[in-house]
Amino acid sequence: MRKPLAAWFLLALLGCSGRGDPPPYASGRANTGGSGGFQVLPDSTNCGLPTDAGLCGNEIMPTQQDRPNLYFIIDDSGSMADVFAGTTQTKYTAAVKAVVDVLELIGHRVSYGAALFPYFVNDNSCINSNNSCAVGQEVFKTQPGDSVVCARNGKVGDVLSSFQTSLRHNPCGSTPLSATLTKLKPTLTALPGKTAVILATDGAPNCNSNATCAADLCELNLDQVSFDNGPVCVAPVNCCDPKVVANGPSSCVDDVATIEILSELQAAAIPTYIVGLPGVGALGDVLNRMADAGGTARTGSLRYYEVSDSQTLADTLRQIAINLSVSCAISLSQSPPNWAQVKVYFDSVEVPSDATNGWKQIDDHTLQITGTSCDQLMNGNVFQVQVTADCPTVVN
């Protein structure tokens, strides 16, 4: 007669027009629970029931999770209302959909929040305003995502549903990025644990009335704006010179202040990933330098994440988020009583004990997913990793 199986451990992995629009002139929701499977928490009751039958032990014990914070800052300027070439989808709609799709996949592994820039209370307050540079603001406070039950059952939980609702805005206005990041810095630095920012924009920042620039970084000149009864913004005329256009400095590319605040966040161990949507154009070097300052520069001449269409945008956000939230090195809260009886599962499918393409023990409290199994995990094709111990050998 077999002795009762001892369940031991569950791990839910942590693991633009290109220049923006010139300003106008004149829960603690842990994914684990008690005996028999997951605890279905109140914020996930619309997601159905877990399917864990058949695991060795079949009793899930809770464990601590170290969820990273993913904070999305999304450009909501007027140029984000432009559509991707060959589609009917605006850049803003595509960005929101890509973010939501990513969080459907990995939201149970992270906590997440979001801010928009600029931010207007409603469309009329933007359209009727003489100032298109309203500083952005947080629209969704960082909180743990829904239970893994939602991801595994293909459902949208209450947290993600509220997140999606918070992003229902119509793009309008300019690109006040440095002021927005400065406003958000206390919020970001106060978050517990590891935090990373994912910034999606279709152009360089502007809206800093204290900025100075030459004509080559003046958006009015870059767009060759012609004012009625006023200057034509073509070199050698510099329309960002306040002597030429009274509020011209607000149309300077605000690279200096933006890079400064990104550097401050990086110094506080908060990296920023720069995702450039179509429209960046000749100002890609500004986004390159933003990626440098954010501590996430890629190798090569293109150091930010450039996306050319909605699918590339979705794939890019997915890979950034997975890399931040998933790891093939798994730390256990305690050493298994017998490593020879440890089993690892990807979504109820057993992973072989194989140092090349499965998993292997690293030390008393750590195992490493290896080879093709690690690739499968890092591709985002696994919702949940489960580890059990004391599984008996079955003798027929």
pLDDT given at position 343: 86
- Three-class SS of residue 367? strand
Please give the pLDDT value at position 28.
Answer: 30
Q: Taking the chain (396 residues) in consecutive chunks of 10 residues, what is each chunk's mean pLDDT?
A: 35 38 36 28 56 50 62 96 88 94 90 96 71 93 92 89 94 95 98 95 94 94 90 94 94 97 98 92 89 96 92 89 87 82 86 94 91 91 81 47
**2/387 Cα distance (integer angstroms):** 21
Report yes or no: 63 and 11 within 8 Å, Cβ to Cβ.
Answer: yes
Q: Are 19 and 222 in contact (CB under 8 A)?
A: yes
> Where are the domains positioned within the chain?
18-27+67-209+250-325, 212-249
Give the pLDDT score at 31.
31
Question: Which residue from 4, 98, 107, 127 is spatially nearest to 65, judged by alpha carbons?
Answer: 107
pLDDT in the model for residue 142: 97
Q: pTM score, two decimals?
A: 0.82
Question: Of 97, 245, 91, which is closest to residue 164 (Cα–Cα)?
Answer: 97
pLDDT at 261: 98
Give the length of the chain.
396
Alpha-carbon distance 74 to 199, whole Å? 6
Q: H-type helices in the chain, by residue range?
A: 91-106, 123-127, 148-152, 158-166, 177-189, 219-222, 255-267, 284-294, 310-325, 371-378
Residue with tokens 């600029």, as numbered in its chain: 118
> Which residue carries 């810095």 as its tokens?
185
User: Under 8 Å CB-to-CB from 156, ≥6 apart: which residues?
Assistant: 104, 146, 150, 164
For 18-27+67-209+250-325, which CATH superfamily applies? von Willebrand factor, type A domain (3.40.50.410)
Residue 143, phi then psi, degrees to nearest 5: -155, 160
Distance CA 115, CA 113 (A): 7
Per-residue model confidence (pLDDT) at position 100: 94
- State the Cα angle at 136 between 25 and 115, rounded to 5°: 150
Residue 188 has φ and ψ, to the nearest 5°, of -70, -45
